[in-house]
Amino acid sequence: MDFLIATGDLHECRVQESEPPAPAEGEALLTVEHFGLTSNNITYAAFGEAMSYWKFFPAPDGWGRMPVWGFATVAKSRAEGLPEGARIYGYLPPSSELIVTPARAGAQGFIDASPHRAELPAAYNSYLRTDADPSYDAEREDQQMLLRPLFFTSWLIDDFLRDSELFGAGTVVLSSASSKTASGLAFLLSRDGAAEVLGLTSARSAEYTRSIGVYDEVLTYDELGSLPQGRSVYVDMSGDAGVRAAVHSHFASELAHSAVVGATHHDRMGAVPEDLPGPRPTFFFAPDRVARRSDEWGRSGLEARLAAAWAPYVAWTDGWLNVTRAAGPEALRTVYLDLLDGRIDPAGAHVLSLPR
């Protein structure tokens, strides 16, 4: 069972049923147990062509399988080093099964070496066994599926900004401030007061965004004229061309860096005009940062640092995260479309499955 999205119209979606695939020699069949669905997945779909996200999990012509993060069990294995029954966490399709070609399989997990994934970012091809994952907590599986991919991005941006000494800025401005990736970054930046953290959000989400306590100031999008002065960094989680133009025009030469991360406002994305004031927006591609830090620290060193930051963050989310679980094609379709059209409460989160 596969949840498919039309690559030319993200509102068109359907479920396709077929016989479960059988693994060939060197392959394994994973049964997808459940996965999280957040605005992060909408970003994967919005950038499906541009960033090759559709290529991870092939689908019929004109359709795509949007990547999700979740847990799966090895149902059948014809791959050395990967036993049946092993439980893994990683990048999955919104499907009931997935065939993988495990390489470097061992106690820690494996890399999917399927030929179609060979040229895709390695960070998305790694699968961790739950019994060896330093961040795994059986009582917090929902948080891991829903928040860990987002927090990993937040943590990588925080690492990038601090490594760059915040580009000499005293303020970091985050759009789509109610999103979980933005609030995760705000949580990290607020730990030591290295910079003032300013959130931009919709009027509908402003009260919630202020209530979580990680922003020094929250402005709604119709209050952009009240932005402060001074050297600043803009981290764009929304992809909204109008907001980007307003922020760049306001700060102009005082804008030290403009990072593009997400597309929560995917319907308002636009080309970057040549005469946009300030620095050229630069796409922050998390796998590149993962590759750099993995080279410098080793994969185990990176995972250990992430786990140390994850524990206090996930404890903080207990105060506001509301998780809803559901199963089946109609539930998945409803949540997906609500996310696509911005109808999800920012404190809400969804765990889904497509059981046979």
Give the domains, in start order, of the chain with CATH numbers: 2-133+321-353 (3.90.180.10), 150-286 (3.40.50.720)
- CA dist., res. 17 & res. 315, Å (int): 39
CB 342 within 8 A of CB 204: no
Structure token pair of residue 85: 């029954």
pLDDT of amino acid 104: 93
Around Cβ 230, how many Cβ atoms within 10 Å? 11
Query: Please, how many CA atoms are within 13 Å of residue 345, restricted to the half-sphere of its CB?
Result: 11
Taking CA 241 as the corner, what is the angle to CA 53 and CA 257, rounded to the nearest 5 degrees? 85
Low-confidence ranges of the chain (pLDDT < 50): 264-267
Structure token pair of residue 203: 């009027």
- Tell me 116's DSSP state: G
Nearest to 133 by CA among 71, 202, 64, 42: 71
Name the pairing type of β-strands 282-283 and 255-260. Answer: parallel
pLDDT of amino acid 101: 97
Residues with Cβ within 8 Å of 186's Cβ and at least 6 positions away in sequence, in order, are 174, 177, 197, 199, 214, 215
List the beta bridge partners of residue 348: 322
Taking CA 229 as the corner, what is the angle to CA 282 and CA 346, rounded to the nearest 5 degrees? 60
Name the pairing type of β-strands 102-103 and 109-112. Answer: antiparallel
Evaluate the CA torsion angle 91, 97, 98, 104 in order and state its sign.
positive
